[in-house]
Amino acid sequence: MLFFNNKKNDDMPADQTGKESGCQSGNCSCGKKDNGVQQVMNKPTDRREALKKLTAGFLAGTGFVAASCSPTASDDKKEKTQLDWEEFFKGNYQLMSDDEKQSTVNRLERLYELNAGRKINVTATGPLEDVLYGYAFNISKCQGYMDCVNACVKENNQDRTSQMQYIRIHEHQNGSMDFELADDNYYHEVPAVGHFYIGTQCFHCENPPCVDVCPVKATWKEKDGIVVIDYDWCIGCRYCMAACPYDGRRFNWATPEVPKEEVNNEQHYLGNRLRKKGVMEKCTFCIQRTRNGKNPACVEACPTGARIFGNLLDPKSEIRWVLANKKVFRLKEDLGTEPKFWYFMD
C-alpha cells in the first residue's frame, strides 16, 4: 500500500529524500560526507532503486512531519521519532549498500545516545579476505568452570533478566556421551568427581538449516562462515529455532535488559549490539572481536585452554593443527549440517 502511495509522489522534491541519508544533527560522525542531496542525486539508480529511495524518503518525510507538527515534543524527541521511523522502514542488511549500512549504524549510535545519554560505537565491518572461522573444543581440558559463559554474556550484551546464555556446558557422567543423561544446569563445585564437560553453542554450520527456513532472509551465513542475524529484519517467527538441531538459538521473549554500566560499548551491527524484544539472537563467534583479529570472548576467558579458535584457511593456524593432529569429531554429523565446531580429546 505504502509502495503504491508513493508512486504518485514520483516528483517528490529531492530535499525530502535527502533527509534519509543526510545528517540532521550535525553532531554525529558522518560529517565528512557529501550532503544528502548530493548523495542521492549523484548516485546512478535504476527504476526499482529509485522507487525504493522515494519510498524511504517519503516515509521519513512523513515521520518527520508527524513529529515536527507536534507542538509539545522537544527537539530530542522529534529527532528520536524521526530516527525511529527511518529505522523501522530500513531494508534487509544483506541488501544495503555501504552507504545505507553506514547511515543505519549512525542512526543506531545516535538513538542510543538520545535514549541512554551515553555513546556507543557500532561498526559494520565486513568479512576479512581468505578467512573461514572454525572452532575446536578440548573435552579433556574443560572443567566446567563456566568462565566462558560469563564472559560471553558480558561481551555480547545478553539479557540479564532471563539470564540468557549462548553457551551450554553439559556435565556428563564418565562412561556415557548420551546428552539426554547429561546435566546442563548444575549448581555445585566443579569439576565433579567422575564427570566430564562438553560445551555447546551455535556451531556455525556450513549447511545451516536455520538459514534455509527463515521466511524473510533475516539470518544468513557470511563469507567468513559466521551465521548472523539481522535483528531489525527478524520478524520473530522462531522457525529457525525449531530447525536448529543444536539448541544454538535464543529468542528475546521480553525486552532484554542490560544495566547501563554493564553495556559493552564496542558493538557490531550483526553481533553484540543491543537487541529488542521479539527477535532471535545467538553466538556470532564474537563478530565484533574476531573481525578485528581478536579471539572470541569465550576463548579468551577459558582458564584451561579448552577452546581453540582460528582461520580454517590458514594452514599455520592452531585450529588447522588440531584438525590435522587430533582425532576430532562433531555432534549429530548424521544430519549433514557440517558444523564448523569440532571436539577432541588429549
Partner 1 sequence: MQQLKIFRSLVFSGVKIATQGNTTYHLWMAFLTFFMLLGAYCFGIQLDQGLSATGMSDYVSWGLYISNFTFLVGVAAAAVMLVLPTYVLKEIDFSKAVLIGEGLAVSALIMCLAFVTVDLGGPIRAWHLIPFVGVFNWPSSMLAWDVIVLNGYLFINITVPLYILMCKFQGKEPNKKFYLPGVLISVFWAVGIHLVTAFLYAGLPSRPHWNNALLGPRFLATAFAAGPSLIIIALAIIDKFTDYKIATNTFRKLALVIVVAAQINLIMLVSEIFKEFYSPTHHSSSAIYLFFGLHGKHALVPYIWTAIGLSVVATIILSIHKLRNNKTWLYVACVMLFVGIWIDKGMGLIIPGFIPGAWGNIHEYSPSWIEIGVTFGIWSMGAFIFTVLAKVVISIETGSLRYQQTK
Least distance to partner 1, CB of residue 336, Å? 8
Residue numbers 278-297 binding partner 1 by CB under 8 A: 278-280
C-alpha cell at 136: 575446536
- Check binding of 151 to partner 1 (CB under 8 A): no
Q: 4: left (phi > 0), else alpha (psi -120 to 50), else beta?
A: alpha
- Check binding of 234 to partner 1 (CB under 8 A): yes
d(CA 39, CA 193): 65
- Check binding of 135 to partner 1 (CB under 8 A): no
The binding track of 154-173 with respect to partner 1, each residue x by CB under 8 A or -, is: --------x-----x-x---
Applying CB under 8 A, among 10, 98, 129, 180 the residue interacting with partner 1 is 180
Report the run of H or E that residue 212 belongs to, with start and end: helix 209-213
Nearest to 42 by CA among 31, 53, 27: 53
Applying CB under 8 A, among 5, 140, 207, 255 the residue interacting with partner 1 is 255
Query: Smaller CB distance to partner 1: residue 5 or 292?
Result: 5
d(CA 237, CA 176): 36
Residue numbers 320-339 binding partner 1 by CB under 8 A: 335-336
Non-local (6+) Cβ contacts of 146 within 8 A are 169, 190
d(CA 8, CA 106): 30
Nearest to 77 by CA among 64, 90, 86: 64
- Check binding of 241 to partner 1 (CB under 8 A): yes
d(CA 145, CA 160): 19
Question: For partner 1, how many residues bind (rule: CB under 8 A)?
Answer: 53
- Check binding of 182 to partner 1 (CB under 8 A): yes
The binding track of 94-133 with respect to partner 1, each residue x by CB under 8 A or -, is: xx--------------------------------------
Part of the chain binding partner 1 (CB under 8 A), chosen from 19-27, 174-182, 304-312, 316-324? 174-182
Q: Are 263 and 120 in contact (CB under 8 A)?
A: yes
- Check binding of 236 to partner 1 (CB under 8 A): yes
Q: Are 301 and 150 in contact (CB under 8 A)?
A: yes
Type of residue found at 196: F
Q: In the beta sheet, which residues pair with residue 219?
A: 229
* Cα dihedral 160, 112, 115, 66 sign: negative
Applying CB under 8 A, among 73, 245, 264, 320 the residue interacting with partner 1 is 245
195-200 and 168-173 as β-strands: parallel, antiparallel, unpaired?
A: antiparallel
Applying CB under 8 A, among 15, 113, 184, 206 the residue interacting with partner 1 is 184
- Check binding of 54 to partner 1 (CB under 8 A): no
Part of the chain binding partner 1 (CB under 8 A), chosen from 135-143, 242-250, 284-292, 295-303? 242-250
Residues that bind partner 1 (CB under 8 A): 2-3, 88, 91-92, 94-95, 162, 168, 170, 178-182, 184-185, 200, 209, 212-218, 233-239, 241-247, 250-255, 276-280, 335-336
